[in-house]
A = this chain, B = another copy of it.
C-alpha cells in the first residue's frame, strides 16, 4: 500500500507528466471555483487522469491544493521577474516601472492569469500556503518598492513611513484586481477603457504618489496632463 508517491524525479518529462498535468488543472480549477467548490473529479477530468491519481500523487485534496499554489507561484515568478535597473536610473522612473510592472502582472491582458487569481485567494483568505507565498514572492517585491521610495525621498522618511506609503501604492493596484467587477459597476465603460487600462493606471498611481511626496507637481496643475510622467516641479 502506498500513501503517496515516495520520491519524485528531478525534472520530469513536462506536459506528459501526469503530476504536472494535475497541478495545472488543479490550479485552474481552484482559482476559478475556490477550494471547496472545486472537485477532484473535475480536476482529474480536465487533466485526463483517473480520480485515484490525485490520491496516488499527492495523498489528498489539501496537499494537492498547497502544491498547486506553490506551483502556480513558481510559474508566475518565472514569467514575470523583478525589474532590474541600470545604475543611475532616476527613482521616479523606477517607481513608474514598478507600478506598471505590478499592474501588468495583476491585470495584464496577455493572458487571463489564473495563477494570479489563485494567489489572490490566498491573500484574501490565507491558508497554509500563504506564508510561503508572502516570504518568497510578495516580501521581495515589496522590499524593492520600499527601497525605491527610500531613494525617492532621500532619507527624509523612516522605513515605517515608507512602508505605509508602499501600502498606499499597492492598495491602489490591488483594488482593481480584487474588486474589479465593482469598479466596473461604478464607472462608465468608456472611462474604464480610457483611464483604467493598466498603462493609464500606472501613470495615475505614479503621478499621485510622486505628487504626494513632493517629487512632482500636484494633480491639479493646469495642463492636467494625465498620461506622461513628469519630473520635479519648477
Is there a chain B Cβ closer than 8 Å to A221's Cβ? yes
Given A179-B124, A186-B138: A214 and B224 within 8 A (CB)? no
Asked if residues B211 and A157 are in contact (CB atoms below 8 Å), the reply is no
**A178 / chain B contacts, CB cutoff of 8 Å:** 123-124, 174, 178-179
Of B126, B174, B179, B226, the residue contacting A181 (CB under 8 A) is: B126
Asked if residues A221 and B211 are in contact (CB atoms below 8 Å), the reply is no
Is there a chain B Cβ closer than 8 Å to A86's Cβ? no
For the complex formed, measure the closest distance between the CB of A139 and the CB atoms of chain B, giving whole angstroms: 6
C-alpha spacing A37/B37, complex, angstroms:
8
Report, as a range, how many residues of chain A touch the other chain: 35 or more
Given A126-B181, A138-B186, A139-B186: A220 and B214 within 8 A (CB)? yes
Q: Considering the complex, which residues of chain A in the window 74-97 have a beta carbon less than 8 Å from any beta carbon of chain B? A: none
**A179 / chain B contacts, CB cutoff of 8 Å:** 123-124, 174, 178
Is there a chain B Cβ closer than 8 Å to A48's Cβ? no
Is there a chain B Cβ closer than 8 Å to A17's Cβ? no
C-alpha spacing A207/B213, complex, angstroms:
10
For the complex formed, measure the closest distance between the CB of A126 and the CB atoms of chain B, giving whole angstroms: 5
Of B138, B157, B161, the residue contacting A182 (CB under 8 A) is: B138
C-alpha spacing A208/B149, complex, angstroms:
14
Q: Considering the complex, which residues of chain A in the window 188-224 have a beta carbon less than 8 Å from any beta carbon of chain B? A: 191, 194-196, 204-205, 207-209, 211-215, 217-222, 224
Asked if residues B218 and A232 are in contact (CB atoms below 8 Å), the reply is yes
Given A194-B160, A195-B160: A208 and B142 within 8 A (CB)? no
Asked if residues A157 and B209 are in contact (CB atoms below 8 Å), the reply is no
